[in-house]
Structure 1
């Protein structure tokens, strides 16, 4: 699992552990509450591949791969720092592909499951979100290609697209989902019958705040 050291990723790791999985983490920064065998710079996509192989060196068959690592650098197109774009492309997109490539032999051996953590931003772009929105949109294509190519090899893929999440300990918004709720959905997706695959799952908060414009006025904000 990538991105397991805080927030949603930590909740997913803890839920999968409670479900009986033995979880190994590949993070950019070590978990304070979990033993990381290897930490890797996911902006270095060769390092992401090599680190995945090292984490799985003694794992002949892999039941589940959850790809949650993300960077959320923001900025409007006119002022976007090239470093922010490059980091988003590497961490949110290319590293995911390289980790999957490294893990596929073990996933095929187990008839395993890949869960890619997408976002509503993948098909609901917003101002200032070019790097984040574009990479999450591209991740949908990665998921779909994996579905087509790897099902004959017994490997299922699910793209999970959450909306707003209370990812930080000081966020108490009632209009966002808890990290534990998102983790429960990951658990549910993984427990789907072996002859099914949930190709894409969208999650929205159950409660909705007042948008900046409604009705006919909403057209002015498209």
Structure 2
């Protein structure tokens, strides 16, 4: 049975991939920001276990994990959690830059650092669910795109560093996906949200599973997914 640790399993893409993994008999460990959210996710995903770590405070992740029982084996670490606050460079406050960089970039780096010893033993895989914004930046998306461009750099560096340990590293770049986060983006943009126009969360989950299930003699490094309609 493979063991997968997932951030962002409470909704959207993270929820979709967690359900797919549980349905096929794998073990899922979901990272939750606090004990209350952990209980909600455990009820939402029967069979999953949880760890509590607030990704908005990367400097406290090590302390939080030290107080909990960590699995002895992890086959994949899936970074799916993310936040977005739109705004022009002229208008966006430093706190919103800090929040997006913390959750979208620094927390994945720190969580990966802490779990690398276990991932090396299992010759596991790290998957970063990035964004089309990690490849290009549009007006109003500066802070979010900066965090996602940084996430691409993190993945590229990690891949080069960990190949000798047999750890595979994959970046997934979904286009606009029908998730609660996308609905919030539309609210910020002041536009009508129609989920039928976008990629389904399950379609992105399929791309993640494809990367995870690839035979060990190959590695998907970067995979871009776009709406098919």
TM-score after normalising by structure 2: 0.84
1:169-214 Cα shifts (integer Å, max 9, x gaps): 985433311111111111111000111110000000111xxxxxxx
User: After TM superposition, which residue ranges in structure 1, 4 or more long, deviate above 6 angstroms?
Assistant: none
SS of match in other structure, 1:38: strand
1:119 to 117, 131, 147: 131
Query: Where does 1:1-222 land on structure 2 (aligned, <5 Å)?
Result: 1-28=6-33, 29-30=37-38, 31=41, 32-34=43-45, 37-52=50-65, 57-168=69-180, 172-207=194-229
SS of match in other structure, 2:197: coil
**Contact map agreement 2:173 2:225 (CA 8 A) in 1:** yes
**Contact map agreement 2:28 2:49 (CA 8 A) in 1:** no
**Contact map agreement 1:162 1:203 (CA 8 A) in 2:** yes
Unaligned runs of 5+ in 2: 1-5, 184-192
Q: Which residue of 2 aligns with 1:213?
A: none
1:94-127 Cα shifts (integer Å, max 9, x gaps): 0000000111011011010100010000122111
5-14 or 38-47, larger mean C-alpha shift: 38-47
TM-score after normalising by structure 1: 0.86
109-118 or 24-33, larger mean C-alpha shift: 24-33
Flag the structure with larger Rg.
1
SS of match in other structure, 2:44: coil
- Between the two proteins, the alignment pairs up a number of residues equal to 206
**Contact map agreement 1:159 1:201 (CA 8 A) in 2:** yes
1:120-169 Cα shifts (integer Å, max 9, x gaps): 00122111111100010111111111111111101000000000100039
SS of match in other structure, 1:26: strand
**Contact map agreement 1:26 1:51 (CA 8 A) in 2:** no
Which of the pair is proportionally richer in strand? 2
